[in-house]
């Protein structure tokens, strides 16, 4: 604030309070005029659009959101009064858009985690002392960063995922994992049929005790003991969860957790693409550290690994987090490329809704708002962690 | 990049409609086309027999493409004065609403919602089709066996809704999936790779994709027809001058076949002794001027592109890989028991 005030002061002479007041009013007037003009343009635009729509006999109407969708979505859940279930064609257009949004969030959140891990490894690899690792990391970044995401996505889908064997010929990896054209299926934990309700509650208590034990070191012994007691009670009452192996049944797979080929391809495409950018951010941040820090660590007798872990990484993560945030937001928006491979993300579902109901303008407004909220949410989370990290390090 | 284009269209719709409010107050698309000297016609480029970019010749070909050429010949006197704008099942309606194209011929099924909610105006039906399902191999012989399967179709197509209704009516298990792709090319690529257990679209498209497949014998088109799908071109709503001209251009193509005037004998027919034939072809009297069309619009159109029968034979006839039987079907001329029918001209 002080600097601002100083720079706006005239360089010579003393300004009388009246002049200062006049200048202030003038400044406010100018700002108001600009804001007014901008608002005017927006209002004019809105009225023109309305007039244009009316001329073509199209009314602006959000009522389509409540109408039944009348089309199916290949994957995705919808929240109803009866809880979560698969989307059905009799659900509303709003439910369809929500299903698309959930699919967008699902693929974006997993891709963010994967790309961060992969990107950090590659970024560190680019500075490795090992020649081969360095060259591989360099090649990866250059290749991935300099080809269009859309082409990579089509490659992942048609040339990788859909080249997997069909369901009937698929190999079972490690006894349970199935990677096929119909999707990737892994064993999972499901709620056992016929398990007693008491047992389920006891299990939840046990899990809570265990989680509390991790969080509160002081009462750890006592809490762990309670968790063990709960576990024993669970086993006695009939365990509420069971291990579920995927099993091929006709066209489909029953049991376990499954991911569709479209999801897998989009996840891989997004994670790999963003990882290349994250790698460059990480590399830049590491290189920006003063050389003296490495030398000081070496002088203290720290190994390279320990230097990296205790000196470099804590500082690097403080620097890169805002830049990561940008990448995450960009990644979340890039999920809209899913349409190229038939993944039913928000934008894909919007396309169908707009096409079947004829409400493209209303739909695009809803969709833009949804992406806006998603981006804001991501930057809020990144900012939260950034503040926490700064506070913890005492950098302020 | 189509998805990008369609986003842009959302904004283009805004901008164009805003501009249209000011500038485009009166005036028919017919005048715009004549002024521009080129017809912007929306077609598919991945639907063999209808709208297809032949990679060997680099030319667009198909029934839809030839109808575009007919319109260009009738309105502008030259079948070559047409710019083909590729539209997808999803983008085609926005394309006419935003005046990006003047008319669309893209194997589009006539449906009430498309005229009421989406607000386009349909032209006469030029092809009668129905939705079917194609599978790989010979193990499956009926659509009923596809319970629990992944069935693929194109996004924004009429089949998408038909299929959803069918799955629901059959009470199939929740593991039955309808997977949608942007266009037929991607759909068929996914089908070929084995991702889809069934490919659902118009039977004519199934037949041509099967015929153009590396090994056509690998594919079986199931006998059931899920629903009717009559194809018609369409234009922007509430422009009756343009719509009427187009309607009668299509009817003229049907009528020319009925009175057996083709591209080879149109010159001779202008010397006919039948006063109707003379007026129809625009010698002396003409139907054209009242529509805002040239006097000889039928003669130009039939001379350059041929009548409906010739167009059908060129694209879907027995000599083509996309052969679809015409005799004894709704696509035969009405004089032979079909539904290709022009109202009387006099």
What is the per-residue pLDDT across A323-338, written as a single tens digit (0 to 9) for each?
999 999 999 999 999 9
Closest among B156, B203, B147 to B180, alpha carbons compared: B156
Average pLDDT over residues A71-92: 78
Average pLDDT over residues A7-20: 69
Asked if the model's pLDDT at residue A44 lies above 90, the reply is yes
pLDDT score, position A58: 66
Asked if the model's pLDDT at residue B116 lies above 80, the reply is yes
Q: Comparing A188 with B160, which gets the higher pLDDT?
A: B160
Q: What percent of chain B has pLDDT over 90?
A: 37
Instruction: Among A41-45, A53-57, A85-89, name the most confident range.
Output: A41-45
pLDDT score, position B76: 93
What span, in angstroms and rounded, lies between the C-alpha atoms of A32 and A35? 5
Kindly state whether A259 is in contact with chain B, defined as any CB-CB distance less than 8 angstroms: no
Closest among A263, A205, A193, A275 to A233, alpha carbons compared: A205
Kindly state whether B150 is in contact with chain A, defined as any CB-CB distance less than 8 angstroms: yes
Asked if the model's pLDDT at residue B48 lies above 70, the reply is yes
pLDDT band, residue B230 (cuts 50/70/90) = very high
Average pLDDT over residues A256-273: 90
pLDDT score, position A309: 85
pLDDT band, residue A154 (cuts 50/70/90) = very high
What span, in angstroms and rounded, lies between the C-alpha atoms of A378 and A367? 17
Q: Which of A9-23, A335-349, B77-91, B305-319 has the lowest mean pLDDT?
A: A9-23
Asked if the model's pLDDT at residue A6 lies above 60, the reply is no
Asked if the model's pLDDT at residue A91 lies above 90, the reply is no
Average pLDDT over residues B328-345: 90
pLDDT score, position A57: 64
Cβ-nearest to A158 among B1, B119, B189:
B189
pLDDT band, residue A396 (cuts 50/70/90) = very low
pLDDT score, position A56: 64
pLDDT band, residue B21 (cuts 50/70/90) = very low
**A52-77 pLDDT, tens per residue?**
777 766 677 788 888 888 788 888 88
Kindly state whether A48 is in contact with chain B, defined as any CB-CB distance less than 8 angstroms: yes
pLDDT band, residue B275 (cuts 50/70/90) = confident
Asked if the model's pLDDT at residue B331 lies above 80, the reply is yes
pLDDT score, position A393: 56
Q: What is the ipTM of this complex?
A: 0.72
The alpha-carbon gap from B195 to the nearest alpha carbon of chain A, in Å, equals: 6
Cβ-nearest to A55 among B20, B149, B181:
B20
Average pLDDT over residues B330-335: 90
- Classify strands A77-80 and A83-86 as parallel, antiparallel or unpaired: antiparallel
Handedness of CA B168, B169, B171, B177 (dihedral sign): negative
Average pLDDT over residues B143-154: 89
Q: Comparing A209 with A58, which gets the higher pLDDT?
A: A209
A356: nearest CA partner in chain B: B156
Handedness of CA A286, A292, A295, A301 (dihedral sign): negative
Asked if the model's pLDDT at residue A136 lies above 60, the reply is yes
- What strand order describes the sheet that includes A177-180? A172-173, A177-180, A183-186, A257-259
Contact B288, B271 (CB under 8 A): no
Residues in A closer than 8 angstroms to B136, CB to CB, are: none
The alpha-carbon gap from B8 to the nearest alpha carbon of chain A, in Å, equals: 11
Average pLDDT over residues A11-18: 73
Asked if the model's pLDDT at residue B70 lies above 50, the reply is yes
The predicted model scores a pTM of 0.76
pLDDT score, position A140: 94
Can you read off the two tokens belonging to residue B67?
Answer: 């109808």
List, in order, residues 6 or more apart from A153 with CB less than 8 Å away.
A265, A266, A269, A337, A340, A341
Other beta carbons within 10 angstroms of residue B144's beta carbon come to 11
Asked if the model's pLDDT at residue A257 lies above 80, the reply is no
Q: Write out residues 318-357 of A within 8 Å (CB-CB) of B.
A: 336-337, 339-342, 344, 347-348, 351-352, 355-357
pLDDT score, position B304: 93
In the predicted model, what is the mean pLDDT of chain A? 84
């Amino acid at each position: 604030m002080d600097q601002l005030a100083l720079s706006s002061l005239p360089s010579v002479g003393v300004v009388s309070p009246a002049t200062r007041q006049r200048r202030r009013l003038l400044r406010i007037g100018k700002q108001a005029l600009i804001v007014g003009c901008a608002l005017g343009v927006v209002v004019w635009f809105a009225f023109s659009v309305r007039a244009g729509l009316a001329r073509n006999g199209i009314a602006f109407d959000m009522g389509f959101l409540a109408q039944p969708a009348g089309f199916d979505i290949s994957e995705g859940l919808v929240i109803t009064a009866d809880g979560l279930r698969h989307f059905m064609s009799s659900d509303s257009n709003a439910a369809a858009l929500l299903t698309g949004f959930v699919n967008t969030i699902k693929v974006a959140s997993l891709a963010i985690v994967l790309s961060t891990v992969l990107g950090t490894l590659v970024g560190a690899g680019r500075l490795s002392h090992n020649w081969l690792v360095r060259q591989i990391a360099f090649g990866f970044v250059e290749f991935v960063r300099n080809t269009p995401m859309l082409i990579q996505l089509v490659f992942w889908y048609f040339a990788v995922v859909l080249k997997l064997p069909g369901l009937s010929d698929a190999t079972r990896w490690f006894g349970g994992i199935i990677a096929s054209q119909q999707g990737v299926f892994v064993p999972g934990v499901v709620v056992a049929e016929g398990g007693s309700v008491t047992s389920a509650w006891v299990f939840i208590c046990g899990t809570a005790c265990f989680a509390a034990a991790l969080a509160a070191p002081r009462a750890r012994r006592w809490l762990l003991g309670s968790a063990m007691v709960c576990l024993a009670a669970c086993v006695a009452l009939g365990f509420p969860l069971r291990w579920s192996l995927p099993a091929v049944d006709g066209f489909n797979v029953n049991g376990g957790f499954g991911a569709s080929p479209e999801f897998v391809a989009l996840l891989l495409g997004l994670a790999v693409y963003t990882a290349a950018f994250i790698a460059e951010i990480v590399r830049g941040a590491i290189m920006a550290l003063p050389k003296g820090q490495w030398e000081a660590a070496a002088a203290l007798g720290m190994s390279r690994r320990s230097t990296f872990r205790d000196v470099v990484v804590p500082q690097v993560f403080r620097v890169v987090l805002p830049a990561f945030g940008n990448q995450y937001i960009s990644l979340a928006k890039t999920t809209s490329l899913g349409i190229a491979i038939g993944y039913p993300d928000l934008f894909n579902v919007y396309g169908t809704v707009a096409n079947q109901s004829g409400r493209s303008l209303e739909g695009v407004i809803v969709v833009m708002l949804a992406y806006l909220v998603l981006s804001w949410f991501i930057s809020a989370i990144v900012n939260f962690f950034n503040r926490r990290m700064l506070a913890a390090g005492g950098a302020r | 990049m189509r998805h990008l284009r369609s986003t842009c269209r959302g904004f283009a719709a805004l901008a164009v409609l805003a501009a249209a409010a000011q500038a485009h107050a009166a005036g028919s698309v017919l005048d715009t086309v004549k002024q521009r000297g080129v017809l912007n016609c929306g077609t598919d480029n991945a639907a063999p027999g209808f709208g297809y970019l032949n990679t060997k010749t680099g030319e667009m070909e198909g029934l839809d493409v030839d109808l575009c050429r007919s319109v260009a010949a009738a309105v502008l006197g030259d079948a070559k004065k047409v710019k083909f704008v590729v539209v997808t099942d999803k983008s085609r309606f926005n394309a006419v609403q935003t005046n990006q194209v003047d008319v669309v011929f893209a194997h589009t099924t006539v449906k009430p919602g498309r005229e009421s909610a989406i607000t386009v105006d349909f032209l006469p039906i030029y092809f009668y089709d129905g939705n079917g399902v194609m599978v790989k191999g010979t193990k499956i012989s009926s659509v009923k066996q596809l319970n629990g399967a992944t069935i693929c179709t194109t996004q924004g197509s009429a089949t998408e809704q038909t299929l959803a209704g069918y799955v629901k009516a059959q009470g199939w298990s929740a593991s039955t999936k309808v997977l949608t792709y942007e266009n037929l090319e991607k759909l068929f690529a996914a089908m070929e790779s084995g991702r889809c257990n069934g490919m659902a679209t118009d039977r004519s498209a199934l037949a041509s994709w099967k015929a153009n497949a590396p090994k056509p014998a690998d594919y079986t088109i199931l006998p059931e027809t899920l629903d009717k799908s009559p194809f018609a071109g369409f234009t922007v709503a509430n422009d009756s001058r343009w719509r009427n001209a187009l309607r009668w251009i299509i009817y003229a193509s049907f009528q020319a076949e009925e009175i057996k005037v083709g591209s080879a004998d149109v010159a001779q027919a202008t010397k006919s002794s039948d006063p109707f034939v003379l007026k129809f072809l625009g010698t002396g009297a003409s139907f054209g001027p009242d529509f805002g069309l040239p006097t000889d619009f039928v003669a130009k159109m039939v001379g350059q592109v041929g009548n409906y029968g010739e167009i059908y034979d060129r694209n879907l006839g027995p000599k083509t890989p996309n052969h679809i039987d015409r005799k004894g079907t709704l696509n035969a001329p009405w004089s032979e028991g079909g539904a290709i029918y022009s109202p009387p001209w006099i």
